[in-house]
Structure 1
Amino acid sequence: MAKKSIKIRAKEKGGVVTVKSLMTHPMQIGGQKDKKTGKPIPAHFIQEVNCEANGKNVMSALFSGGVSKNPYLSFKFSGAKKGDMMKLSWVDNQGNTDSAEAKIG
């Protein structure tokens, strides 16, 4: 995927960081037919999402074809402070990857 597919925000309050992210991805489960060509649409979905803060993995998630198009993901973790950098990345079932970094506010 050529352009960035992840929008991310992270805010710290009381020692807890809240992360909100939106990932642009088709999330096709496969098996449907293309209305124009009649050919089956192959499965194409995010399989794994990881988040690191200060080089430490703070969240991992496994997705499947059951997750909707352009998934929104929100989670909380502790152990980081304002100004620290964090990185969110994903890998899909076709080997595509993307990542985004954000400064914790």
Structure 2
Amino acid sequence: MAKSIKIRAKEKGGVTTVKALMTHPMETGARKDKKTGKKIPAHFIQEVVCKHKGNTVMTAEWSGGVSKNPYISFKFSGGAKGDEIELSWSDNQGGSDSLSSAIK
């Protein structure tokens, strides 16, 4: 189970609404450590992908300008209750996570 993603997906009237919260520091690389004065290295999610039945229904490409622990919400058509969706992210330091969830 993914440790950094929480996801909810609900279908209503042929449209599925997906809401997800990702735990991630999202450092821009511009801030300085208050104790040492050195810059904190950039560490941010670069890509978020959601798939339904193997087809990509949403792709987001991010940079360091997204806040810590980002929340994302989007809609797509074609999903049905009980179908699985998979949400995954990858960051600029090689980290990644993914989670599958059933549409309710």
Instruction: Give the alignment's TM-score, normalised by structure 1.
Output: 0.95
Give 1:62 shift: 0.4
Match of 1:30 in 2: 29
Residue 21 (structure 1) aligned with residue 20 (structure 2): yes
Instruction: Report the residue type matching 1:41 in the other structure.
Output: I
- Residue identity matched to 1:9: R
Matched, 1:88 2:58: no
Query: Deviation of residue 39 (structure 1)?
Result: 1.6
Partner of 2:40: 41
Give the match's secondary structure for 2:33: coil
2:56 maps to which residue? Answer: 57
Deviation at 1:63, TM superposition (A): 0.7
Question: CA offset at residue 31 of structure 1?
Answer: 2.1
Question: Matched residue of 2:87: which SS?
Answer: strand
Moved over 4 A (4+): none
Q: Distance in 2 between matches of 1:66 and 1:32?
A: 12
Deviates more, 1:32-41 or 1:60-69: 32-41
Corresponding residue number in structure 2 for 1:7: 6
Q: Tell me how far apart the structure 2 counterparts of residues 32 and 13 of structure 1 sit (CA, whole Å).
A: 43
Two-structure CA RMSD over aligned residues (Å): 0.9
Task: Give the deviation of 1:32 after TM superposition.
Answer: 1.5
Shift of 1:73: 0.1
Q: Give aligned pairs, total.
A: 103
Could you give the per-residue CA deviations for residues 53-73 of structure 1, whole angstroms, max 9, x where no partner exists? Answer: 111110001011110000000
- The unaligned stretches of length 5 or more in structure 1 are none
The normalised TM-score by structure 2 is: 0.96
Q: How far apart are residue 33 of structure 1 and its match?
A: 1.1
Q: Secondary structure at the match of 2:90?
A: strand
